[in-house]
Amino acid sequence: MENKNLMRIVEEKAQVWLSGKYDNDTKAQVRSMLKENSKELMDAFYKYLEFGTGGLRGVMGAGTNRMNIYTVGMATQGLSNYLLKQFGNLDRQISVAIAYDSRNNSRLFAETAAKIFSANHFRVYLFESLRPTPELSFAIRQLKCQSGVVITASHNPKEYNGFKAYWDDGGQIISPHDENIIKEVQKIKSIEEVRFNGPDENIKILGEPFDKKYINKVKTLSLSPEIIKRNKDLKIVYTPIHGSGVKLVPEALRKFGFTNIINVPEQDIIDGNFPTVKSPNPEEPAALSMAIEKAKEVNADLVMATDPDADRVGIAVKNQDNEFILLNGNQTAVLLIYYLLTKWEEKGKLTGKEYIVKTIVTTDLLNEIADKFKVEHFEVLTGFKYIADIIRKNERKKRFIAGGEESYGYLAGEFVRDKDAVISCALIAEVAAWAADQEKSLYDLLLHIYYEFGLYKEQLINIIKKGKSGAEEIQQIMEDFRNNPPETINDSPVMMVHDFLKQKSFDMISHLRYDITLPKSNVLQFILKDGSKISVRPSGTEPKIKFYFGVKEEFKDRNDFGTLNSLLDERIREIVRSLNIEAG
């Protein structure tokens, strides 16, 4: 009966789209769904798109649960209404910045948002063509905007697009603003309430002169210009995977002083269908396969690939057998932050007021490194917006050096407030030059770090559950783990359970409870007696539940690396088996 009632509501919502002021193509899509595919109709209309860890994101198409000019329009109008409430007494015109990536419809959605902001009498700064997401964050701060929007679905498959909103500090919108914006959007009962057609005179186009300001600022982060001079011919293969890093990442590398940048011509083509990859996600090995082939061909030293909006970067390096291997996001974060802290110490820049930030599912090795350099470290919920929030709270009191998350996003410096692959690519290349100056590869440097701090190994497993039924399955998995936490995992007792939804930590031995001060989030963590850590959370942007595994072992003999690495791989496999998890 419940499903029948929901279908009736869904069909009524679809009929509204047929009778309202929607374009003919949209109405044709709705008619087709009503006639032929009840499941597709259900997925398209059973709910409204909501802001998650990455803002508004979904499959493109007709429907309230799809990305289209109408859902974008309602989100933009809701954001506009909220900005008018928050900044209505401003002594100048409210201003917003808009950027977009290479995805299909990104330009259309960006122009739609620009027109709506303009109709609400805002000053709008719209980039002339696709640009990296971090440049949008930079623009908000540089131009003193009250908000900003980037049209992107980051690394999602080609069917997706998204609407990511930012606040006046250049960081993604967080609570309470995100929840309040949703309330404003929900107040809009009809697209007739959306002001779609604002005047062009309120819209200013940003182009190459602004790019130069951004790149010049990125250059200020370089800590080893003399080392780069000695290693400027380092062979770097870079691919934007058809996305917005195509221009500015090579430009940043050249600005740092690197001269031997090799592209992958087929992937320099801007194309929202991402024709050379199944998914434009640098977390997936297949996304870097063409770049690695190019690197083998030219005998390169380093491979880097960015996602469509150029906020994430994946890298490949040569191992001891001179074969290219992919590093995961934790390993790249370790290399980057170890280098930055080393150089800050060498230059006498550490005063006791510096800090780094990582997410709760990112390797604990970063904490160990920070402790060595006597640098404070913060842990935040998953989502780079929480790293930006820490920077905002500590502004002018403490100095942010760098932050990172296991999902291939990193940031150095404070002039951008989101993960930045332009900055990251330039600095990763600088780390490679630093290693080369010591006659080491990045792989050698990573082993050196492991030898100093211990061998840490992490793995992520995604279980995909699509649609309404999938969302219900994910919810049930979380409820089962929360209500019946395992006492042992892989024959190792569970010592501590962190429940970020209940904001409580449970000591399974003493049965004591401790408060968690981070915001509520549907995340569970299990800490085992052998030091292993398992984290479970639903994705905020994709139809999947994520399992994060972290294991570690002392590393006393460099010759034992292969054996220890295999041991930790097997430990993760045993944990996965004991939890009966199958990757999706």
The residues with which 52 forms a beta bridge, in sequence order, are: 55
The residues with which 536 forms a beta bridge, in sequence order, are: 524, 547
Please state, in angstroms and rounded to a whole number, the distance separating the CA atoms of residues 528 and 508: 10
Q: Which H or E run contains 454? A: none
Strands (E), 348-468: 354-359, 376-380, 399-405, 409-412, 455-464
Strands (E), 34-146: 56-59, 95-100, 123-127
SS3 call for 381: coil
- Whether residue 311 contacts residue 154, with contact meaning beta carbons closer than 8 Å, is answered with yes
Please state, in angstroms and rounded to a whole number, the distance separating the CA atoms of residues 153 and 85: 28
Please state, in angstroms and rounded to a whole number, the distance separating the CA atoms of residues 578 and 103: 40
Name, in order, each residue with C-beta under 8 angstroms of 538's C-beta and a sequence gap of 6 or more.
Answer: 474, 475, 478, 522, 544, 545, 546
Write down the residue that tokens 């044709």 correspond to.
Answer: 28
How many CA atoms does the CB half-sphere of 107 hold within 13 Å?
A: 9
| Neighbour tally for 396: CB within 10 Å | 5
Show the DSSP H helices in 143-288 as ranges.
177-187, 208-219, 225-230, 245-256
Please state, in angstroms and rounded to a whole number, the distance separating the CA atoms of residues 280 and 156: 7
Looking at residue 489, what DSSP letter applies?
Answer: E
Please state, in angstroms and rounded to a whole number, the distance separating the CA atoms of residues 415 and 459: 31
Q: Which residue among the candidates 106, 118, 147, 154 is catalytic per the annotation?
A: 154
SS3 call for 548: strand
- Whether residue 402 contacts residue 390, with contact meaning beta carbons closer than 8 Å, is answered with no
Q: In 3D, which of 414, 408, 416 has the Cα closest to residue 382?
A: 408
Q: List, edge to edge, every strand of the sheet that includes 236-239.
A: 261-263, 236-239, 302-306, 313-318, 324-327
Please state, in angstroms and rounded to a whole number, the distance separating the CA atoms of residues 279 and 211: 28
Told to judge if 129 belongs to the known catalytic residues of this protein, a careful annotator would answer no
Please state, in angstroms and rounded to a whole number, the distance separating the CA atoms of residues 40 and 51: 22
Cα–Cα–Cα angle for 176, 178, 179, nearest 5°?
70
Q: In 3D, which of 282, 278, 288 has the Cα closest to residue 324?
A: 288
Virtual torsion, Cα 540, 541, 547, 552, nearest 10 deg:
-90
SS3 call for 92: coil
Assigned token pair, 354: 């510096």
Residues recognised as catalytic: 154
